[in-house]
Structure 1
Amino acid sequence: MSGAVQAKGGSRHGDPNRLGHGEVPASERGPASKRIVVSYGFWIFLLSDFVMFSGFFAAYAVLVGNTAGGPSGRELFDLPLVAAETAFLLLSSFSCGMAGIAAAARNAFWFQVAMAVTALLGAAFLALELYEFVHLIGEGAGPDRSAFLSAFFALVGCHGLHVVLGLLWLTTMMAQVWAKGFREDILRRITCSALFWHALDIIWVALFTIVYLLGSGAGA
């Protein structure tokens, strides 16, 4: 009997941090918490979004040389303007991160300030992108001019649409925190919205490099 007790004690003390989850098997622990389920599902959504953008990038790579005798990226792209867009979006990612820190500290004032800055920077990015589109179309370089421009407007426009959706999500989070505070479900939504916003920055960095930088140097 003492051997059995010792064996039992050994199993208890041999795993003090319960890395093996103690005596409860995984099959008997019940369903995962809502936080884990939501996080897992949202990561699947983000990965599916990356897959979609991969298709747009692939289409652009195939069609980038099909200008139909029209202007190429080297003739059209305004790198200082696009650099300003990039700066606005990257700064918005920093302020979004600060909003996440404020949410973790349950500081409503600084959360609202950081989210407002994020929204303003995102709106500035969209304003410059809209100006770029209007300018290109005014010069006769709209999406119907060539396959290259069709792919360009589809890729950049899809990202811009995601930024619009991200801004709507961020402002919704501001309203929910103002009305209901930092409830557990609202904190989960804030985390998901921040992940979505940071993902848009990652996609934009790839877009800025592949479309604008490489496109501006094509044929140089």
Structure 2
Amino acid sequence: MTQSPAVLKEPWQDLGRQREGAAFGIWVFLASELLFFGGMILLYTVYRVENPQAFAEAARETDIWYGTINTAVLLTSSLTMAVAAQGAEQDWRRLAVWCLAATALLGLTFGILKGFEYAEDIRKSLVPGPGFPLQEPAAQLFFALYWAMTGLHAIHLTIGICLVGRLCLLGALGRIVLRGNPQVEVTALYWHLIDVIWIILYPLIYLPGRAS
């Protein structure tokens, strides 16, 4: 039986230091990503305060069913990712691999559903520009931010699916050691970032104007 490659990589000489370095690096990266999304959310907030009626009217045009189902899908994927990370830490390879596969499939499901939602938005001409169906000019600002924020989130999701899928494949083939591997922790934190961002976007995009 062949031995799996060692987890410790150059230039690190201690596994604990390597994990600390990887964790520090990903937290710095996540902070920069949150600042980036935070700027877009701040812009959304300013325009919404200035144009509450137009934003509420525009938000009512979004498909809350797609948004709610996708929220449930992504929250479930966060659970499977957490179980995968715990399984890797306990050296339960099969559990970790299966949960990584489930996480990637749930992420892919989110992307497919979002694609259907985008197609519906395009069919309804909810794209800023000529032929936009809503009369309020600020409604186009809402949908400009909608496409920008959800599109950027979709890019991050695609990257996350690739990272999780890679870990799953290498783990299933026995090409990497999952226990104590910083790649698992880094990937899990990145995936949770994707979830957190969507949890923030969901009420901003789908809920305004629904109660009236």
TM above 0.5: yes
Counterpart check, 1:73 vs 2:59: yes
Structure 1 unmatched runs, 5+: 1-31
Equivalence for 2:73: 88
Counterpart check, 1:161 vs 2:155: yes
Q: 1:62 to 1:115 in 2, by over 3 A?
A: same
Equivalence for 1:54: 38
Report the TM-score, using the length of structure 1 for normalisation: 0.76
Would the aligned equivalents of 2:80 and 2:99 in 1 still touch at CA under 8 Å? yes
Picking from 123, 129, 150, the partner of 2:108 is 123
Equivalence for 1:104: 89
Shift of 1:214: 2.4
Equivalence for 1:180: 175
Question: What is the one-letter code of the residue matched to 2:156?
Answer: H
Shift of 1:174: 1.4
Query: 1-side partners of 2:53 and 2:127: how far apart?
Result: 12
Mapping 1:123-162, distance limit 5 Å: 123-144=108-129, 145=132, 146-162=140-156
Structure 2 unmatched runs, 5+: 1-15, 133-139
Question: Could you say which structure has the larger radius of gyration?
Answer: 1
Three-state SS of the structure 2 residue aligned to 1:77 is coil
Would the aligned equivalents of 1:89 and 1:201 in 2 still touch at CA under 8 Å? yes
Would the aligned equivalents of 2:89 and 2:178 in 1 still touch at CA under 8 Å? no
Three-state SS of the structure 2 residue aligned to 1:195 is helix
Q: 1:147 to 1:176 in 2, by over 3 A?
A: same
Query: 2-side partners of 1:183 and 1:204: how far apart?
Result: 28
Deviations 1:123-156 (A, max 9, x none): 1111111111111111111143422211110011
Query: 2-side partners of 1:66 and 1:148: how far apart?
Result: 10
Query: 2-side partners of 1:216 and 1:112: how far apart?
Result: 41
Percent of aligned positions with the same letter in both sequences?
A: 27
Would the aligned equivalents of 1:60 and 1:152 in 2 still touch at CA under 8 Å? no
Question: What is the one-letter code of the residue matched to 1:43?
Answer: W
Shift of 1:160: 1.3
Shift of 1:215: 5.1
Counterpart check, 1:114 vs 2:106: no
Equivalence for 2:207: 213
Three-state SS of the structure 1 residue aligned to 2:207 is helix
Query: 2-side partners of 1:193 and 1:201: how far apart?
Result: 13
Q: 1:183 to 1:85 in 2, by over 3 A?
A: closer
